[in-house]
């Protein structure tokens, strides 16, 4: 095939065996079978060895390998075998868990919608980008991601950001003209390549390659970059914790070496036993299971959000959600249904009602007979319109913008027919100028302009506007209606980019459209406010409409709205005050959103912000949690966002915040459980060595306990559902330390309590005639019992749950506890295990003792948690 960039558009269409206005459904279907879906091949996963290498490369493993070597040199075969088992099992568990977490996140990345608009059977239809085939005609708007490699057939002011392919950061202007000769990719001005971004303009392109055949598909590095939206399993918090663990591990190794030296100097233990004790101490103290458990907790949180229709694109934002203190939201489609019905028309001298419901064109404009203005309004509504309504599955549905759909339905009701009219050019709607205008030719070839937009914007284009315009607007907007003005007029130079026509249009009238709030919005607003989170409605709509809707959804202070024009007059020093005190911001532009976020962040607020337009991208990036709309949103907004709401629904923001808070709670609980557990295991050995006491639990037994409990029990907490009251407390301060002082104090005394109980039990057992092996078995099982107790106590002390609830737990928790108990029972009673671990059978009294000690510990822990909770309540009051 010749280089397609050197062919004329006509020739390119022929070569691709396409037709004007694209393929038929049947042909597209056949080509899809032949070429396969328009998807990039999955990047090659890391090999098993690479992944295993990652698991084995950590401080703990190096300590264990060294220990295993020394035990081999000492010919302690059992110890060597146990240590090796610990290494292998740890690596295996880590491998499986990490693989699962990664798969879960990748699956969610695949949910990010990729849509395209293509002509099929001559009609523009929205499609999954995966269904595109060579020969398709694709429609692109500013903000769209180019879905396949395209030869451009039509271009209106197009510039494309091709930096990902060419490295050139400045967007390139495009045209439809063929190149004189083949040129490097960066200079193919009549082409658009898959994965690049339409920064401005609109275009129609002919698909020449899809999937792996595209330019980007041939660069495997780019493929993996594009295919995996979730790039890393790490978030700032996890990275911070990782660093903490590394430092902790280093400190533990240093402590272990010092203790070893101390032990050698004291010479109370034979060297090999001392060595094993030091190994046991090191392994117990290093929280090696923690990174895996934290990663899984995070992956579970992300999955829980996906179930609530929230797709996480940037993992760090998941953490941020827990501390969000302000939610900035747009109105149309997020708070409201985006189901528009045009119900009122107000012309210069008459007021009309429009009957009918939804997008069904059945309905009347009354009273009749009509004034000629009604037909003029209908004509403008039809001509200045990119949407259409169609009957699909027995329901009338809009293809395109819902508001334009409502205008198209209204036009039908006025019975105008503009089939013979042709559009010559257009100024597309832009949130910055708030109108849309088209230049059309009537059946006689006379040029005319049809325009619609925000009333102020249209009034500025007209020769005259009604004197009582403000009153007319208020009458409609006060009922929560979206108000739009219509105008038409002649044009002399047939050129929309000139200024000649501006200020000379003829005013036709206003239309009022209802767009009711989503049924879930009101309760979602209430829930967010209860959670101590502020809501700011930042809309492009009229202040009166915005206030009316704000009132309907229960936003306090709804009547106080500030407009973009007023914001423009503010001094920099006044922004902070305005950003804090107003809740309704109307007639704003994307630049205002950016400034408002800045002002809020300056006051240490953590800001979540929703957006859908191309121009919202900077604000979405700047917000701490940028939220794009999955359905309404432009690809540019989705690319810039951290989260995507698959259903565009404000209630999903609430779910995201709830899950974010829960995720944070669970991470916190995992750490609060893990640290005292590790510390108690290590503490038993440290105290014995320092005090020259008999080891109440042997080094091998400590290794075993660590192996059995580190990941299983901690993991149970990752599955905790959101507790009651999660959304009734204020957000966490973004700069609060992860562990509070109270947490650290608790960590210390719980460790001390557990160590004391273990020693006391060991000595009590020996004193009551148990053998050393039995006493050790008792102490080991008690330690595990206490870890389980700590699990329940951590759940309880996190609040929002009764003791019965904390005990009842959930299936995963009881599965984990059951597995640990079974393992302990085997370790204590299986003859082989007894031989290896030096355990012995325990009598009923010993088991009762363990149970009693655990119950006592639970009582102490819950009493303290209760006191702590009461103190907190009093402090808050």
Residue 484 interacting with ligand ATP (CB under 6 A):
yes
Minimum separation from the CB atom of position 129 to ligand ATP (A)? 24
Q: Which of 154, 142, 141, 146 is nearest to 129 (CA)?
A: 146
Tokens 């006509």: give the residue. Answer: 10
Q: Which of residues 504-523 bind ligand ATP (CB under 6 A)?
A: none
Query: Which one of the spans 170-178, 396-404, 516-524, 617-625 is the region binding ligand ATP (CB under 6 A)?
Result: 396-404
Q: Which one of 172-180, 398-406, 486-494, 844-852 is the stretch in contact with ligand ATP (CB under 6 A)?
A: 398-406
Query: 269 vs 403, which CB is nearer to ligand ATP?
Result: 403
Longest dimension (CA), the chain: 113
User: Minimum Å distance from CB 529 to ligand ATP?
Assistant: 19
Shortest approach of ligand ATP to residue 404 CB, angstroms? 6
3-state SS class at 725: coil
Euclidean distance between CA atoms 285 and 245, whole angstroms = 11
Q: Which of residues 549 and 689 has its CB atom nearest to ligand ATP in the complex? A: 549
> Of residues 27, 144, 401, 527, which one binds ligand ATP by CB under 6 A?
401
Q: How do 310-312 and 643-645 pair as beta strands?
A: antiparallel
Nearest to ligand ATP of 539, 797 (CB atom): 539
Alpha-carbon span 38 to 58, nearest angstrom: 41
Least distance from C-beta 563 to ligand ATP, angstroms? 12
Q: Residue 143 interacts with ligand ATP (CB under 6 A)?
A: no
The Cα–Cα gap between 273 and 282 comes to 14
Q: Which is nearer to ligand ATP, 629 or 820 (CB)?
A: 629
**DSSP secondary structure string for all residues of 113-168:** --EEEEEETTEEEEEEGGG--TT-EEEEETTPBP-SEEEEEEEEEEEEE-HHHH--
Catalytic residue at 272?
no
Within residues 305-334, the interface with ligand ATP by CB under 6 A covers 330-332
| Nearest distance, CB of residue 435 and ligand ATP, angstroms | 5
- Helix (H) / strand (E) containing 561: strand 561-563
In the complex, what is the shortest distance from the CB of residue 414 to ligand ATP, in angstroms, rounded to a whole number? 18
- Closest to ligand ATP by CB, 23 vs 327, is 327
CA atoms of 97 and 87, how far apart (whole Å): 16
Tokens of 66: 């060294």
- Name the pairing type of β-strands 462-464 and 505-514: parallel
Distance of CA 773 to the CA centre of its chain: 53
Q: How far apart are CA 395 and CA 374, in angstroms?
A: 27
Q: Is 632 in the site for ligand ATP (CB under 6 A)?
A: no
Neighbours of 498 (CB within 10 A): 11
81-91 as b/e: b if 16+ CB within 10 A: ebbbebbeebb
User: How many residues make contact with ligand ATP (CB under 6 A)?
Assistant: 19
By beta carbon distance, the residue nearest ligand ATP is: 540
Q: Cα–Cα distance between 37 and 389 in angstroms, integer? A: 29
Question: Please, which residues have CB within 8 angstroms of residue 753's CB and are 6 or more apart in sequence?
Answer: 857, 860
In this complex, which beta carbon is closest to ligand ATP, that of residue 644 or of residue 689? 644
Tokens encoding 675: 């640290």
Site for ligand ATP in 66-105 (CB under 6 A): none
Both tokens assigned to 117? 């608009």
* Site of tokens 């053998």: 771
Q: Among residues 401 and 534, whose Cβ is nearest to ligand ATP?
A: 401
Exposure string for 208-236, b = 16+ CB within 10 A, e = fewer: bbbbbbbbbbeeeebbbbbebbbeebbbe
Chain positions 533 to 562 lying near ligand ATP, rule: CB under 6 A, are: 539-541
Q: How far is the CB of 143 from ligand ATP (least distance, A)?
A: 13
Q: 466 or 540, CB closer to ligand ATP? A: 540
Nearer to ligand ATP, 206 or 600 (CB): 600
Residue among 427, 380, 424 nearest 404 (CA): 380
Bridge partners (DSSP) of residue 537 are 329, 584
Neighbours of 570 (CB within 10 A): 15
Q: How far is the CB of 497 from ligand ATP (least distance, A)?
A: 18
Question: Based on CB atoms, which residue is closest to ligand ATP, 229 or 539?
Answer: 539
Q: Given candidates 60, 140, 300, 403, which one binds ligand ATP under the rule CB under 6 A? A: 403
Under 8 Å between Cβ of 80 and 699:
no
Shortest reach from residue 654's CB to ligand ATP, in Å: 18
Question: Considering only residues 433-462, where is the footprint of ligand ATP by CB under 6 A?
Answer: 434-436, 452-454
Q: How far is the CB of 429 from ligand ATP (least distance, A)?
A: 4
- Rg (C-alpha) for the chain, rounded Å, is 34
| Distance of closest approach, residue 665 Cβ to ligand ATP, in angstroms | 33
Taking alpha carbons only, the member of 813, 810, 767 closest to residue 790 is: 813
Structure tokens at 634: 């432009």
d(CA 849, CA 852): 5
Nearer to ligand ATP by Cβ, of 309 and 452: the residue is: 452
Report the nearest approach of ligand ATP to the CB of residue 411 (Å). 14
- Rounded CA separation 633/274 (Å): 64
Dist CA 412 CA 394 (whole Å):
18
- Smallest distance from ligand ATP to CB 333, Å: 6
DSSP 728: G
Q: Which is nearer to ligand ATP, 516 or 805 (CB)?
A: 516
Residue closer to ligand ATP by CB (options 346, 403) is 403
Q: Give the CA count within 13 Å in the CB-facing half-sphere of 873.
A: 8
Which residues in 406-435 contact ligand ATP (CB under 6 A)? 429, 431, 434-435
Residue (of 428, 427, 537, 423) closest to 480 by Cα position: 537
Residue 238 CA: distances (Å) to CA of 268, 296, 441, 733: 41, 12, 62, 18
Residue 121 contacts by C-beta under 8 Å, 6 or more apart in sequence?
24, 25
> Which of 452, 465, 383 minimizes the C-alpha distance to 416?
383
Task: Find the catalytic residue in 330, 386, 401, 515.
Answer: 330
What is the CB-side half-sphere exposure of residue 47 using CA atoms within 13 A?
3
Which residues are at the interface with ligand ATP (CB under 6 A)? Answer: 330-332, 401, 403-404, 429, 431, 434-436, 452-454, 482, 484, 539-541
Q: Which residues are catalytic?
A: 330
């Amino acid at each position: 095939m010749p280089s397609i960039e050197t062919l004329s558009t006509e020739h390119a269409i022929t070569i691709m065996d396409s037709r004007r206005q694209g393929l038929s459904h049947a042909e597209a279907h056949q080509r899809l079978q032949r070429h396969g879906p328009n998807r990039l091949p999955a990047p090659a996963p890391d090999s098993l060895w690479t992944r295993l290498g990652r698991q084995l490369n950590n401080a703990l493993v190096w300590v264990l390998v060294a220990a295993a070597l020394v035990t081999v040199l000492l010919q302690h075969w059992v110890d060597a075998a146990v240590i090796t088992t610990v290494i292998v099992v740890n690596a295996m568990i880590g491998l499986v868990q990490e693989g699962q977490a990664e798969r879960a996140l990748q699956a969610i990345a695949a949910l990010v919608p990729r849509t395209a608009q293509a002509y099929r059977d001559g009609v523009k239809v929205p499609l999954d980008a995966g269904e595109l085939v060579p020969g398709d005609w694709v429609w692109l708007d500013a903000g769209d991601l180019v879905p396949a490699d395209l030869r451009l057939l039509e271009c209106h002011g197009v510039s494309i950001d091709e930096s990902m392919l060419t490295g050139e950061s400045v967007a390139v202007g495009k045209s439809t003209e063929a190149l004189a000769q083949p040129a490097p990719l960066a200079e193919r001005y009549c082409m658009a390549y898959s994965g690049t971004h339409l920064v401005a303009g609109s275009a129609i392109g002919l698909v020449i390659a899809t999937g792996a055949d595209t330019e980007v598909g041939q660069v495997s590095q780019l493929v993996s970059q594009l295919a995996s939206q979730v790039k890393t399993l790490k978030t700032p918090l996890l990275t911070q914790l990782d660093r903490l663990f590394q430092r902790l591990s280093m400190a533990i190794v240093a402590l272990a070496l010092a203790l070893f030296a101390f032990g050698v100097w004291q010479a109370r233990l034979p060297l090999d036993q001392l060595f094993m004790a030091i190994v046991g101490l090191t392994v117990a103290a290093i929280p090696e299971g923690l990174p895996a458990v934290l990663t899984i907790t995070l992956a579970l949180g992300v999955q829980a959000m996906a179930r609530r229709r929230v797709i996480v694109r940037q993992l760090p934002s998941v953490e941020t959600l827990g501390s969000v203190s302000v939610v900035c939201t747009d109105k149309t489609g997020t708070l409201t249904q985006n189901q528009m019905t045009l119900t009122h028309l107000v012309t210069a001298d008459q007021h009309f009602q429009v009957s009918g419901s939804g997008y069904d064109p059945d309905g009347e404009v009354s009273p009749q007979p009509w004034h000629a203005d009604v037909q003029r309004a209908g004509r403008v509504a039809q001509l200045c319109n990119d949407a259409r309504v169609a009957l699909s599955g027995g329901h009338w549905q809009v293809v395109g913008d819902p508001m334009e759909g409502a205008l198209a339905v209204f036009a039908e009701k006025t019975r105008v027919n503009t089939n013979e009219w042709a559009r010559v050019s257009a100024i597309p709607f832009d949130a910055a100028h708030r109108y849309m205008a088209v230049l059309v030719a009537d059946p006689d070839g006379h040029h005319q302009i049809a325009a619609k937009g925000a009333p102020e914007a249209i009034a500025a284009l007209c020769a005259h506007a009604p004197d009582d315009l403000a009153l007319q607007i208020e009458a409609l907007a006060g009922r929560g209606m979206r108000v739009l003005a219509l105008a038409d007029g002649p044009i002399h130079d047939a050129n929309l980019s000139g200024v000649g026509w501006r200020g000379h249009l003829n005013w036709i009238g206003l239309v009022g459209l209802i767009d009711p709030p989503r049924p879930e919005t009101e309760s979602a607003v209430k829930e967010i406010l209860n959670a101590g989170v502020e809501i700011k409605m930042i809309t492009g709509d009229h202040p009166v409409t915005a206030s009316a809707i704000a009132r309907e959804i229960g936003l306090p202070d709804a009547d106080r709205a500030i407009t973009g024009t007023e914001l423009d007059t503010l001094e920099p020093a006044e922004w902070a005050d305005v950003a804090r005190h107003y809740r309704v911001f109307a007639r704003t532009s994307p630049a205002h959103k950016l400034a408002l976020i800045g002002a809020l962040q300056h006051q240490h607020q953590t800001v979540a912000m929703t957006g859908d337009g191309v121009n919202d991208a900077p604000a979405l990036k700047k917000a701490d949690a940028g939220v794009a709309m999955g359905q309404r949103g432009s690809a540019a907004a989705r690319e810039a966002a951290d989260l995507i709401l698959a259903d565009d629904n404000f209630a999903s923001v609430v779910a995201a915040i709830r899950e974010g808070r829960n995720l944070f709670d669970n991470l916190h609980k995992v750490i609060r459980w893990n640290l005292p557990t590790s510390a108690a295991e290590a503490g038993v050995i440290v105290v014995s060595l320092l005090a020259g006491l008999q080891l109440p639990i042997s080094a091998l037994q400590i290794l075993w306990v660590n192996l059995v409990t580190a990941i299983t029990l901690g993991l149970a907490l990752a599955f905790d559902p959101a507790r009651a009251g999660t959304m009734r407390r204020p957000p966490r301060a973004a700069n609060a330390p992860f562990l509070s002082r109270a947490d650290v104090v608790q960590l210390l005394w719980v460790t001390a309590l557990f160590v004391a109980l273990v020693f006391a039990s060991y000595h009590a057992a020996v004193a009551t005639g148990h053998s050393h092996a039995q006493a050790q078995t008792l102490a080991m099982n008690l330690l595990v019992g206490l870890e389980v107790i700590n699990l329940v106590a951590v759940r309880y002390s996190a609040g929002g749950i009764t003791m019965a609830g904390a005990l009842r737990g959930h299936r995963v928790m009881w599965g984990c506890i059951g597995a640990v108990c079974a393992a302990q029972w085997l370790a204590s009673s299986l003859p082989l295990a007894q031989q290896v671990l030096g355990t012995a059978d325990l009598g009923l009294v010993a088991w009762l003792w363990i149970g009693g000690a655990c119950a006592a510990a639970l009582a102490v822990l819950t009493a303290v948690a209760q006191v702590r909770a009461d103190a907190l309540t009093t402090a808050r009051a």
